[in-house]
Amino acid sequence: MPTVRDATFAVLRRLGLTTIFSNPGSTEVPLLAGLPEEFRFILALHEGSVVSLAAGHALGTGQPALVLLHSTPGLGNGVAAIATARLNRVPLVVVVGQQDRRHLAQDPFLAGKLHGLAGEYPVFEEQPARAADVPGAIVRAHHAAVTARGPALVIVPMDDWSAEGPEPHEILGPRRLLRSAAADPEAVRALADFLGERPAIIAGAGADSPAGWAALSALAERLAAPVFQEPFGPAAGFPQDHPWFAGHAPARRERLRQVLAPFDTVLVVGTGALRQYPYDSGPLCEAALAVVTDDPEEAQRSPAALAVLGDPAAVCAALAHAVPQRTGEPPRFERPPAPPPGEPLFPGHVLAALADRLPRDAVLVEETPSSRPELHARIPATAPGGFVSAMGMLGFALPAAIGLRLAQPERPVVAVVGDGSSLYQIQALWSAVTYEAGVLFVVLRNGGYAIMDRLAERAGASGPWPALDGIDLAALAHAQGCDAWRITTHEELLAALDKTLPTLRERRTPLLLEVAVAQNEGFDL
């Protein structure tokens, strides 16, 4: 008789979930032993890397990725990355192994209290009532992950895999689910009526697609309206080399009010209004706000005069046709000049050199908190899917870049991370080497927790943490079989980038550049 395992593999094939990201344990062996040959297994050495690799792969393919975690330690270790995947709008199907159902009541070794362990970050969580319900639960998790753009969990006791499989009619959930992206005419009219004489647009990660970029470009040109990128966005919602691009919106209310002061209405597209970091009192801005998003939570929490829950690309494309052509001068947004050559190196030297050399279709994965504002100012996102930022868990970017490269082997991938960020998931380099993911990792080594130092300065005192200048990142890379070069001069930096970036598209071996930089002075969020 077909087993639950057989039925599950059939469901996974139908859903396109044939790559499994995991760091398995005993509760996953009944599923994995004798894995069918059409399934690809990707091992990482920590569950934070497992989930982040899968998230990068999902971002690269545009489809959910499959994660397999081991009971309490696996799910517990992966929670921070699951939270980051939720914030980054990444669809994941996360199967969590549980001890044998037949003696769960006796709390056997490795039994997990798994319900709620990941908090409210999963968009779906289910332990099927019976073994035969496992394949259907995975179907439902897949649809939930796509619909709500986040991680969906299914908890499976290990003996379920060998149980008798369900009848076809028992695999509950639609075999096919269509999501209509049509723009409701009433919503489009309401948005058209909302727009004032001096509108501005703020683009968010939910507009990061070819259709989203095209719709927002058409709308900005139609309205003669400047477009800002949302603060702390996990992706770019607008081409940042477009004439109407006006830069990144600030992550503090006081500065945001100053930037938006010239406008009477602000249309926020593909995100909520509006994620901030340090608290400042007062409203976000004096202008009236409207929000267009396909995320119910973003719509519901936004202090907006009008919120439209729908596909941002479809709504904005229809809105561009519904409003009359306006005239105006594009904003004068200028990127800062490169710092003069010389030592010591600063992050600006590295970022300016990358900006001059990155291919237009490259994917830049960012996790360098103290240099993020300067990275935004210097390196534009010039293709959909070309920018990914970690939204929570330190260490997300390094393995996520590997997953992206595995998903899009024809596209150059560069990860720019701080030294502190890299240390959280440095063991992911082993997976990059093993699975031939030719990512260029640029680690900005300033020898300290620069973002924490700056925040402590704002608080008026220094922090108790020591410097990190004794850690040899290149040696950690070499220990995992990953090539690594230490860069200390401007000449070495340019030579390394000139040698590496032209070959990045074909490269199958990862490379880490450990670049010694001085901390920026006067950093502000």
pLDDT for position 521: 64
- Backbone CA torsion sign across 305, 309, 312, 313: negative
Asked if residue 341 is part of any domain, the answer here is: no
**Confidence grade of residue 60 (pLDDT, cut at 50, 70, 90):** very high
Are 372 and 491 in the same domain?
Answer: yes
Mean pLDDT of the chain: 93
Of residues 32, 156, 153, the one with CA closest to residue 94:
153
* pLDDT range class, residue 1, cuts 50, 70, 90: confident
Tell me, yes or no, whether 372 and 431 share the same domain.
yes
Among residues 114, 140, 168, the one where a domain terminates is: 168
At 514, phi and psi to the nearest 5? -90, 105
CATH at residue 435: 3.40.50.970
Same domain flag for 512 and 417 = yes
On whether residue 75 sits in a domain, the answer given is yes
Judge if 150 and 203 occupy the same domain.
Answer: no
Asked whether residue 334 is assigned to any structural domain, the reply reads no
**Which of 307, 322, 337 lies at the terminal end of a domain, its last residue?**
322
pLDDT digits (tens, 9 = 90+) for 311-365: 999 999 999 999 999 999 999 888 999 999 988 999 999 999 999 999 999 999 9
- In what order do the strands lie in the sheet containing 199-203? 245-248, 227-229, 199-203, 265-269, 288-293, 306-309
Task: For residues 93 and 214, state if they share a domain.
Answer: no
pLDDT (0 to 100) of residue 90: 96
* pLDDT number for residue 312: 96
| Count: domains in the chain | 3
Q: Please tell me whether residues 143 and 20 are part of one structural domain.
A: yes
Whether 329 is in a domain gets the answer: no
- Residues 260 and 147 reside in one and the same domain: no
In a domain, 179, yes or no: no
153 with 299, same domain: the answer is no
| Position 523 pLDDT exceeds 60 | no
Is residue 331 in some structural domain? no
pLDDT single digits (tens) 148-207:
999 999 999 999 999 999 988 888 777 777 776 788 999 999 999 999 999 999 999 999
Would you call 478 exposed, middle or buried from its count of C-beta atoms within 10 A (0-12, 13-18, 19+)?
middle
**pLDDT, position 522:** 53
Looking at 168, 193, 226, the residue that finishes a domain is: 168
User: How much is the pLDDT for 280?
Assistant: 84
pLDDT number for residue 199: 98
Reported as type and span, the H/E element at residue 59 is helix 47-61
One domain, residues 247 and 378:
no
pLDDT tens profile 417-448: 999 899 999 999 999 999 999 999 999 998 87
346-358 pLDDT per residue, tens: 999 999 999 999 9
Instruction: Confirm if 130 and 164 have CB atoms less than 8 A apart.
Output: no
pLDDT at res. 501: 96
Are residues 318 and 354 located together in one domain of the fold? no
Q: Is the pLDDT of residue 525 over 70?
A: no
pLDDT digit string (tens) for 217-240? 999 999 999 999 999 899 999 999
The full DSSP string for 411-457 is: S-EEEEEEHHHHHHSTTHHHHHHHTT--PEEEEEE-SS-HHHHHHHH
Helices 185-194 + 312-322 axis angle, to 10: 60
One domain, residues 352 and 497: yes
For residues 202 and 117, membership in a common domain is answered with: no
Question: In the chain, pLDDT over 90 holds for what percent of residues?
Answer: 81
Using a pLDDT cut of 70, give the percent of the chain over it. Answer: 98
Which tens digit of pLDDT belongs to each residue from 6-48?
999 999 999 999 999 999 999 999 999 999 999 999 999 999 9
Whether cis (ω within 30° of 0) applies to the bond prior to 344 is: yes
Inter-residue contact 97 to 28 (CB < 8 Å): yes
Q: Is pLDDT above 80 for 84?
A: yes
Q: Is residue 375 situated within a structural domain? A: yes
CB 251 within 8 A of CB 231: yes
Q: In this structure, is residue 337 part of a structural domain?
A: no
pTM metric for this prediction: 0.92
Q: What is the extent of the structural domain holding 246? A: 185-322
pLDDT at 383 over 80: yes
**pLDDT given at position 463:** 83
Here the CATH number for the domain that contains residue 299 is: 3.40.50.1220
User: How is the beta sheet containing 19-22 ordered, strand by strand?
Assistant: 40-43, 19-22, 65-70, 92-98, 151-157, 124-126
